[in-house]
Chain A
Amino acid sequence: MERFVLKNFTLIRTVIAILLGVAISIILIVVISNSPGYSLKQFFLGQLLSRSRLGNIIEFATPVIFTGIGIAIAFQARQFNIGAEGAFYLSAAVATAFAVSTSMPAILHIPAILIVAALTGALYGLIPGILKAKLHASELVASLMMNYVAYFLGLYLINYHFRDKDAGFLVSFRLPETAWLGQLVRGTRLHYGIFFALIAALLAYYFLYHTRLGYEIRTTGNNQSFARFGGINVVKIIILSQMIGGAVAGVGGMNEVMGIHHRFNWQLSPGYGWAGVVVAIIGRNHPLLIVPAALFLSYMNVGGQVLNLMSDVPSELVAVIQAVIIILITANAFLKQWKDRITIRQAEREEGVHEPAS
């Protein structure tokens, strides 16, 4: 038992953090709601009660898998680029512009549009990347600012050049049908984009752990001066990691437009970039763990929406719980005393196994 705890300590801590978050949500609902039993049921089980809600879980997880991977690739290189929000938004806007301006068969159109989205995201990541790699400017601050630049730029592009004036809302022209990702299950908004997300996760895993470039990114993140010393071109890697991260988030943005709305209709940035930060943290920057993390987060979010509709508790509860969970997961010393006690007990039992340190 103790050995199991030591070996899987980070996993156990993540689970405990999630349980604590859930516990807090229960307390909040009980305190606030006039009919706590009903509200709790809606929040935790309401997702499962209809096909469309089940679909919503996967629907919401899809973009978050993309942004989570985008964030994770930059984080693996220890680049605190939190610009997935902007990459997602701007790429969707630019690729929408491309999609409504071109016509070709679906088999060509869809890949071409996704490539435009990826390129946009990559170019977007290039800016904080170059500033960091060449000038040592904080990618954190730069990417924060870039989020706003991307938002206003995307908004300008759609509202001034690709706005469908007949729509009655501030939205872009509708995409040609050759650019739609087909519906997967009737009665839901599920579309083929989820497969793109899953493929992205598999590719990202393979990329990070089984390719040369992935090794270079992780080594740069583990110890940059070591990477430089070993001959890795860290300037290139710092830039590339942020470009690839931006590209993945960008594809996520357009995937969403093509699968759900079939036009660009975000007057506000939809917030999937920040959700991506959350799942990257919960999934410990590992692409294959990001998928369940995104599904979990999505389950909570759909629960929040159900709660909003069906009860007197606002959905923002979910943002609060997310914050609690990620701050607990990032707290390295959280539960550490417990772990230390076990370690010391083990060491005393098998005294002399370790070499003494000075």
Chain B
Amino acid sequence: MNPLLESIFSPEFGYAILRVMTPLLFPAIGVAFSELAGTINIALEGVMLMSAFTGVIVSTYTGSLWLALVCGIAAGLLMASILAYFHLRLKANIILGAVALNMFASGMTIFLLFIITGDKGSTSSLASLVFPELEIPLLTSIPILGPIISGHNVLTYAAILSVAFFYVVIFRTPLGLRIRAVGQNPHAAESVGINVNRIRWYALLLSGFFGALGGLYLSMGYVSWFSRDMTAGRGFIAVAAATLGGNLPLGTFLASLFFGFVNSIAIYIAAINIPSELIQLIPYAVTIIALAVYSVRAARRKRKRVDAESAPEGSA
């Protein structure tokens, strides 16, 4: 058999997909939360960096995974709060605000990295911790699927559970109903006494929370160190994944899985004699194509809405 095909049909490849998907799925869920509330958060790149960095540093100096988790999440929430404050209170354009925050995070993490380690590259000199891998007995014993889905990092399982969490919050809780209402017609929500800014603030915090988990996984699971700009655009790919998934739980999950697949295949193809640059650009190119395909569908749906709803409500 062709060695490439052999690799793709191996359980290791399936395992790799889930592994590569994890740091995309977390932020994708985060983006989806923010987009449903009508305030798209493209600062998850920065959120992930800050959390990845905070997690490594805290685990190094306290030796506590729990503290690293808590502080990493706190860093993400803080970043999201800054964005929320500037967008919701000070009326900054959320995209430009996010560009600023991403720049801030990139600069700040390297700045602090240098202050702490004297190195601007990575924390490989530090003895930081990683989150454990879980062997779930029941999963391991499943034929074929077993090796693919068992033995993952605890955060990988958390990411998959987050999809369910996302579904429950959005469709089964008052907060989710309010997030959807605020995204669809903020004036409607406001008119029944819902504090629109507060709901958007919650949605942005949720996005920061999931972005933080994605960042923690990157530096304390995917690899075991922090390196400068290590997110490598995942916060942006998450935007594409959420958009592709229609900001819905299953859709976002499948889109992230798809991006995980494309990324993994790029890694595998690199083993054969093809220039790695060309392989590395594949996921980005595929994202652009997927974006185009999805936009055709979305545009069609939107056009229907515009024509059917020529009455003036919601235009205020």
Touching chains A and B, CB distance < 8 Å:
yes
A residues sitting closer than 8 Å to B (CB atoms) are 32, 80, 82, 127, 131, 135-138, 140-142, 144-146, 148-149, 151-153, 155-156, 159-160, 274, 277-278, 281, 314, 316-320, 322-324, 326-327, 330-334, 336
Chain B interface size, under 10 / 10 to 19 / 20 to 34 / 35 or more: 35 or more
CB of B298 closer than 8 Å to a CB of A: yes
Q: Which of B99, B111, B233, B240 contacts A316 (CB 8 A)?
A: B111
B138: chain A residues within 8 A (beta carbon):
none
How far is it, in angstroms, between the C-alpha of A145 and the C-alpha of B42 when the chains are bound? 13
Nearest-CB distance from A240 to chain B (Å)? Answer: 20
With A32-B115, A141-B291, A316-B108 known, 20 other A-B pairs at CB within 8 A are: A131-B291, A136-B302, A141-B243, A145-B285, A145-B291, A149-B281, A152-B280, A153-B281, A159-B275, A274-B103, A277-B99, A314-B110, A317-B111, A323-B100, A323-B101, A326-B96, A327-B97, A330-B92, A330-B93, A334-B90
- The one of A317, A324, A327 that contacts B92, using a Cβ cutoff of 8 Å: A327
Chain A contact residues, majority secondary structure: helix
In chain B, positions 197-248 with a C-beta closer than 8 Å to chain A are 233, 236-237, 239-240, 243
**Given the contacts A330-B92, A331-B86, A320 and B108 also touching, CB distance less than 8 Å:** yes
Given A140-B42, A324-B104; A149-B284 close (CB under 8 Å): yes
Cross-chain contact B295 with A137 (CB below 8 angstroms)? yes
B297 (CB) vs chain A CBs: closest residue: A135
C-alpha gap A153/B302 in the complex (Å): 35
**Nearest CB of chain B from residue A276's CB, rounded to whole Å:** 11
Cα(A327)–Cα(B46), bound, Å: 14
Q: List the interface of chain B (C-beta within 8 A of A).
A: 42, 86, 89-93, 95-97, 99-101, 103-104, 106-108, 110-111, 114-115, 120, 233, 236-237, 239-240, 243, 275, 277-278, 280-281, 284-285, 287-288, 291-292, 294-296, 298-299, 302
Task: Determine whether the beta carbon of A319 is less than 8 Å from that of B95.
Answer: no
B233 touches A148 (CB 8 A): yes
Q: Quick one: which of A136, A149, A314, A333 contacts B288, CB cutoff 8 A?
A: A149
Q: Is the CB of A145 within 8 A of B240?
A: yes
Residue of A nearest to B285 (CB): A149
Inter-chain CA distance A332–B94, complex, in Å, is: 11
Separation of A153 and B120 alpha carbons in the complex (Å): 27
Closest to B45 in A: A144
Across-interface contacts of A146 in B (CB, < 8 A)? 284, 288
Q: CA A131 – CA B110 in complex, angstroms?
A: 35
